[in-house]
Chain A
Amino acid sequence: MKLTREHLADLAVGAAFLGTGGGGDPYVGRLMVQQYLDEGCEVELIDPQDIADDWLVVPTAMMGAPTVLVEKIPSGEEAIASLVRLEKRLGRMAHATMPIEIGGINSTIPLVVGARLGLPIVDADGMGRAFPFLEMETFGVYGVSGSPMAVSNEWGDCALIEAVDNRQMEWLSRAVAIRMGGCAYIAEYAMSGAEVKRTAIPNTLTLAIRIGEVLRKAHDEHRNPIEALLGFLPSTLYRYGRVIFSGKIVDVMRETRAGFTMGKALIEGIGHFHSQMEIEIQNENLIARVDGKVKAIVPDLISIMNTETAEPITSENLRYGQRVTVVAVSVPEIMRTPEALNVFGPSCFGLKEPFTSIEEID
C-alpha cells in the first residue's frame, strides 16, 4: 500500500488514539513525510506476511523528549544514519524498516526513513501502543535482542551500543540521548523477516490509519464516532473495545519524577455512569478505577477521548471541565502472555493490581 497525504492525516489521529495519552505529537514527523511525498518520494507499506523470512528488517525511531523535538527539528538524516550504522555493523543491507512504537510520533519516523531511502516500511510494530522504555517491545519479549543499537544526532555522531540485555540497552542509550540534546534517533531490534512474523504486532500502521479514517468519516456523516470506532475494532486484532466511562473531568493532578509525567485524572460520571473514575497516568494512561475497582489496566488501551469530537486527548492536554469518554480496548494476545506481562504488565509500572483483560472485567 502506498501512502497519501490523506493517509497521513488519518494516521496522526489513529496514532494519538493508540498512544493512550503519551507518545508525543506526530505533527513534525507527519510534515516531514508529507514533504517527501510532495517531492515525489513514495512511502510503501508492506504486510509482514508478504516479506521473505531471510529479509533484514531494521526498525527506526526517536527517543527522548517530544518537547525538545518540537524545538530542535531533526535534519531528517539522523535515523537514516543509525540504520546505516547498523547495516555496517551487521554486514548486511536492510530490506525494510519498521516502527517500534505505533503510538504517537514514532509511528512517523520509519516513514521518513523509508521515503528517503526507498525502503518499504513493514506494517507492524513492537509496542502496539506507546510505552516509555525501549525494552517494552514484543520483539524483546519473544527473544529478539535490541542490541546492537545505533543512536545518532544531526551531526552524524553515532553511538553503537552492545548491551547484555534490553533493559541495560535502554539505560545506556537514554544517557546518550540526553548528551545529544534530549532527543536522539535510533535503529535497534534488527531482525529477520521470520522474526518479524513471530514477534511483531502485525498491521498496526494500517490499523492507525483505519482508526483515523473511521473517526473522520463518522464525523463527516454525523454518526457517533466513538460507536463507529467500537464497531470497527472487532475486524482487527484489537478485537474488543467498549466505553468504560463517560463524564466530566473534575480534577487533574500532575507531577514529574525521573522523566515521567505522573498523575491522576478524576472524571465525574454523567448519564448512566455513576460515581467517579480515577485514571492513573505515567506519561500514558495505565489504570482506570471506579470506587477502587479496576475497570481497565495496562497493557490494554485506555484512551481518553473528547465526548463530542472523539479526539483523543493527550496527558498534557487534560483539563478540568472537559467532557470525556474513556474507551478501553483489548490488545492482541501476543501482548498479554505471561512473558509479555513480565516486561510491560502492571507490575513493571509499580501497580499492585494484576493484569485482568478488559473482556473479563464487568
Chain B
Amino acid sequence: MRIGIDVGGTNTDAALMDGPAVVAACKSPTTADVGSGIVAVLRKLLDMTGVSVSQIQAVMIGTTHFTNAVVERKRLLEVAAVRLGLPATKGLPPMTDWPRDLADTLGRHTFMLRGGHEFDGRKIAPLDEAGLIGVARTIRMRGLRSAAVTSVFSPVTPEMELRAAEILKNEVPDITLSLSHEIGRVGFLERENASIMNASLADLSQKVVSSFRNALRELSIEAPFYISQNDGTLMTPDYVERYPVLTFASGPTNSMRGAATLAGEKEAMVVDIGGTTSDVGMLMQGFPRESAVAVDIGGVRTNFRMPDVLAIGLGGGSLVRDEGARIGPDSVGYEITSRALVFGGDTLTTTDIVVAAGLEDIGDRFRVAHIPAKTIETALDTMHRMVDEAVDRMKTSADPLPVILVGGGNILVSRDLPSASKVIRPENASVANAIGAAIAQVGGEVDRIFSLEGTSREVVLTGAKVEASERAARAGADPASVKIMDIEEVPLAYLPGSATRIRVKAVGDLVIG
C-alpha cells in the first residue's frame, strides 16, 4: 500500500491507497515545521484504518512549501549567479527583470564569464577557468553557500556547466551547486532564473526534506519516500534536496491526476469548481496537458512546464445578475455563509439558484422561494453554457470527452454537457491532491535543439527516445514499464538548414520494494 500526502498552505491531506483504490483519506492542519503536521495526519490515517506501518511500501509527498518561500521571499539563501556565455549575453546580466525585493534578498552576486555553446554544439568561447577560480575566491570571501551555473545552450551541450561545477567544488568544497541543464530547457533567461531560484532554496530544501524524513522515522515508517514534481512524476528525496524548484507546480498537476484516478479515466477534462473560479484542464494519457507560455513565479519569468489550465469566473459564490443571464466574474467568496440568500444574506449567488431549483438542500431554501422560475432556468442555462464552453475550448479535438467534476462548487453542474461524453463526480474529490501524489510515476525528459546535418530525423528521434527512457529508468522507473508519453518537434523558423528542437518525455512505474 502507498500513502500520498499533500502539504498545502492550510491543510496537510493524506490518502492511503491500495493499488488504484482509495482505502481511506483524512486532513489535518499544516504546521510551521511541516513535520509535526505530517505526523499528525499520518497517525490519524493509520488509526482510522488499523493498517500497520510495515504494510506501507512507499510514501509520496506533494508540497507547495518551496513555491510559497519564493512568493513570500522568506527562508531564502543569498546566491552566486554564475553565467557562462561571454561575449554573448552581456546585454542582459543575470536577474535583470527580477522584482527588486527578491533580487535584493538574493544579494545580487552576479558573475559573467566566457564560455557557452552555439545551437549546433560549437563553442562560443572556451571556458574561462581562471575566471572561475576568481569567482570561487569571491564566493569564499562573501561567505556564499549556494551557486547557480548557467551556460548558453547547456541543454544541448552541458559540458561547460559540469566543468565549472568541478572547479567551484574544488575551490569551495561545501558549496551547493544548481546546474541549469538539470533544471530547465532552451530559453536562456527563464532557465537561468529557475536555476538561481533553485540555488536560493538550497538550505530550505535540506530542512524540509529532513523534516519529511524525521516525520516518517517518528512513526517508524521505513518505506522509501518520494516528492512529486511539476509534471506529475516523482523525485527521490536527495534529488529534491538539490532541485527543489522542480516542485513548483506540482499542486495543480497532482489535483488533476488525482481526479483522473478517482474517476478511472485517462483521457478526460477536469473541471475544478471552487467558490470564485472554475479551473478547467485536460488530461492526456492520465497527465495534464502542459502550457506553452512563460509562467511567472513570485514575479520571475520561468519556462516550467505547468498544466495548461483555463480559469473562468464561475464558482459557488458567483453573483447572478440580469435575471440569470450574467454570472460572475465577481463572487462573495468565503463570505458565502453570510452573504448568500440561503444563508440569510442579500446577494443572489449561483448556490442560491441551485437550491431554488430544488437540486440541493443547503441553508434555508425558503429564503429563495421567491426567485422567478424563469430566472432560475436562465441562470442554470448560463452556468452550464459557461462550463461547456470552457471544456470545449480546452479540447484538442472535436470529439466529446468525459468531464470529471471536482471541488466544492461541483453542485452547480447538474445536467449533461454537450461537449462531454459523460459527467463524472468522484468520491474523495477533496483529497485529489494527495491521491495524485500517491499514484505518481517516474519520468525522464530530453529537450534539446538537434542539428540534422549529416544524420536523419529518424536517427535523431530514436536517440532522443532512448535517452529519455534511460533517464526515467535512472530516476527509479521499472525499465519494462517505461513508455514514451510525448514527442514534440519544433523546427527553427527563419533558419534554413536543418536544426530542430525535439522534446521527448518518457514515464514508467516506480519500482517498489
Contact = CB atoms under 8 A, between A and B. Distances in A.
A35 interface: yes
A92 interface: no
Interface residues of B, number: 43
Which size class do A's interface residues fall under?
35 or more
B346 interface: no
Contacts of A221: none
A40 B88 CA distance: 23
Interface in B469-496: 490-496
B186 interface: yes
Given A31-B97, A68-B495, A317-B292, A322 B393 contact: yes
Contact of A283 (B86, B188, B397, B494): B494
Contacts of B288: none
Given A73-B189, A261-B491, A67 B501 contact: yes
A67 B395 CA distance: 27
A361 to B, nearest CB: 28
B496 A72 contact: no
Given A72-B85, A72-B152, A73-B88, A260 B394 contact: no
Contacts of B86: 75
Interface in A32-51: 32, 35
Contacts of B490: 67, 316
B493 A259 contact: yes
B284 to A, nearest CB: 12
A203 to B, nearest CB: 26
Contacts of B97: 31
Given A70-B186, A70-B187, A182 B124 contact: no
A267 to B, nearest CB: 13
B73 to A, nearest CB: 22
Nearest to A22: B493
B496 A258 contact: yes
B494 A64 contact: yes
A75 B8 CA distance: 43
A68 to B, nearest CB: 6
Nearest to B496: A259
Interface string B141-172: 00000000000110000000000000000000
A174 to B, nearest CB: 7
Contact of A77 (B90, B396, B495): B90
B89 interface: yes
B92 A31 contact: yes
Given A71-B119, A316-B490, A154 B500 contact: no
Interface in A137-178: 154-156, 174, 178
A332 interface: no
Contact of A320 (B122, B395, B449): B395
A321 B392 contact: yes
Contacts of A66: 493-494
Interface string A295-314: 00000000000000000000
Contacts of A72: 85, 88-89, 116, 118-119, 124, 152-153, 188
B358 interface: no
B489 to A, nearest CB: 9
A316 B97 CA distance: 24
Interface in B329-375: none
A182 B90 contact: no
Interface string A211-229: 0000000000000000000
Given A182-B118, A320-B396, A73 B85 contact: yes
Contacts of B188: 70-73
B30 to A, nearest CB: 36
Contacts of B85: 72-73
Nearest to B289: A319
A286 B339 CA distance: 54
B173 interface: no
B398 interface: yes
B499 interface: yes
Contacts of B449: 67
Contacts of A336: none
A320 B87 contact: no
Contact of A154 (B87, B293, B396): B87
Nearest to B87: A154
Nearest to B398: A250
B493 A65 contact: yes
B189 A182 contact: no
Contact of A321 (B96, B119, B186, B393): B393
Contacts of B120: 181-182
A259 B496 CA distance: 4
B454 interface: no
A235 interface: no
A178 B188 CA distance: 19
B118 A76 contact: no
A248 B397 CA distance: 11
A65 B492 CA distance: 6
B91 interface: yes
B50 interface: no
A73 B493 contact: no
Contacts of A118: none
Given A31-B96, A258-B496, A261-B491, A75 B91 contact: yes
Contacts of B118: 72, 181-182
Interface string B102-134: 000000000000001011101010000000000
A127 B120 CA distance: 31
A24 B490 CA distance: 14
A155 B91 CA distance: 13
Contacts of A28: 92, 189
A217 B218 CA distance: 58
Contacts of B398: 250
Given A67-B501, A181-B119, A320-B395, A76 B493 contact: no
B152 A35 contact: no
Given A73-B85, A73-B92, A321-B392, A178 B497 contact: yes
Interface of A: 22, 24, 28, 31-32, 35, 63-68, 70-77, 112, 132, 154-156, 174, 178, 181-182, 248, 250, 255-256, 258-261, 283, 315-317, 319-323
8 contacts: A68-B495, A71-B187, A72-B124, A73-B88, A181-B124, A258-B496, A259-B497, A320-B396
Given A64-B495, A67-B490, A72-B152, 18 more contacts: A22-B493, A24-B494, A35-B91, A65-B492, A66-B493, A67-B501, A68-B119, A72-B89, A72-B116, A73-B85, A73-B91, A73-B92, A132-B494, A154-B87, A182-B120, A260-B493, A320-B395, A322-B393
